[in-house]
Amino acid sequence: MTHQVIITIRFCDTNILFHETSSKLMRYLIPALLTIIITLSCTSTKQQNQQMPPGKLKALIIDGESNHGVWPKTTIMMKRYLEQTDLFAVDVKRTKYTWQGPHYDQSIGLDDITDLLDQYPAADAGMTTSVEEPQPDPDFSPDFAAYDVVISNMGWKASTWPAATKKNFENYMKQGGGLVIIHAANNSWGDWTEYNKMIGLGGWGGRSEKDGPYVFYDDAGQEVRDPGAGACGSHGPQQEYVLTTRASDHPIMRGLPTKWMHAKDELYDRLRGPAENMTVLATAYSDVEGNGPSWNKEVKGTGRHEPLLITVEYGKGRVFHTGLGHMDYSMECVGFITTLQRGAEWASTGDVSQVIPSDFPDDVSVSKRKWSWGPSSK
């Protein structure tokens, strides 16, 4: 007796068809099929492991809305900086509606700032639509709990998140999540009380004395908290400046020089906020004449040592907040790269295992690495 058997196995999106006309041959075919299935299973597991290696820390960069229109590029830069440590596997989650603000078109040689979205694609960011003004994404709901650390590359005027997303993020942080705040991410969401607690200090975004004191260091090296009335957030022309370490025994700062030169960047001053459970890691001096905003000659620099690297403990969560990172060239600073890598590890684990690179800047000269796509673990 003969009959025809068609066996179809769907594996790894491939249909494997087996036509058999002899029941006798089935005795030979079945063991062969089992061998194929076992082999494919092993291969599939290996491929999955290569995509998300076990033991790596899981990091999520969130972006999509910032007046710092270079953000599509800086997200990719930071993704690679983290991957190059060999400690992190990094995903990107982007808001459905992207906004890049009115600035920087000419400064980076583009007629249309949205070209950066094509030049620096984030494959896992999903489909997006570029808009003229920030537009809330009602579906923005990252699975924060799947990550050891969230890095915010959002900025000024970022849209309010859905209430459920805000609550999920608060719970994630209270239960031991990690957060890294990059530069203008401290402009976002001035009316979100819990976010202000997470970031410690913020700028702009409607913030004022109602949100907390100015925090700075005086010339004697003492931390000062000033609750007096006044604007929140300012900076002068971009410049190179010195960072001064204020917490040399903190894991992020351990082994770094006491003073080091940072590449051309904005120097944020007049930040204010709840500043609860906050540690100032490093400051930079806001010169009275040199750090006044160019758009308002009435305002001067503060003459204070401004906190630009800080940490905050929020519930069981850890936050590393860097005021550095205005532009792509600012992020080429080895000081920025190193503190980002170390800060992200600390926010993830509470400790730092990385060694200080030999090209870390000293107190005299800037040290930069010209950015290129570089190696990726993906």
Q: Is 91 in the site for Zn ion (CB under 5 A)?
A: no
d(C-alpha 101, C-alpha 98), whole Å: 10
Which residue lies nearer to Zn ion by CB, 246 or 326? 326
CB contact at 8 A, 59 and 344:
yes
Q: How many residues bind Zn ion (CB under 5 A)?
A: 2
CB of 68 to Zn ion, least distance (A): 6
To the nearest 10 degrees (0 to 180), the angle between helices 334-349 and 71-83 is: 70
Kindly identify the residues of this chain, within the stretch 260-289, that bind Zn ion according to CB under 5 A: 266
Q: DSSP strand E in 110-257: where? A: 129-130, 149-152, 178-182, 214-217, 223-226, 239-245
Question: In the complex, which residue's CB is closest to Zn ion?
Answer: 326
Closest Cα to residue 363, out of 241, 248, 273, 280?
241
Contact flags string 293-332 toward Zn ion, x per CB under 5 A: ---------------------------------x------
Assign residue 121 a region: left if phi > 0, alpha if psi is -120 to 50, beta otherwise?
A: beta
Min dist CB 189 to Zn ion, Å, is: 17
Measured from the CB atom, is 330 or 348 closer to Zn ion?
330
Beta bridge partners of 314: 317
Shortest spacing between CB 237 and Zn ion, in angstroms: 12
Shortest approach of Zn ion to residue 273 CB, angstroms?
18
Strands in 48-183 per DSSP E? 57-65, 88-99, 129-130, 149-152, 178-182
Beta carbon nearer to Zn ion, 272 or 326: 326
Binding mask 92-131 for Zn ion (x = CB under 5 A): ----------------------------------------
- Give min distance, CB of 278 to Zn ion, in A: 21
Shortest Cβ distance from residue 173 to Zn ion (Å)? Answer: 24
Check: CB of residue 251 under 8 Å from CB of residue 279. Answer: no
List of residues contacting Zn ion (CB under 5 A)? 266, 326
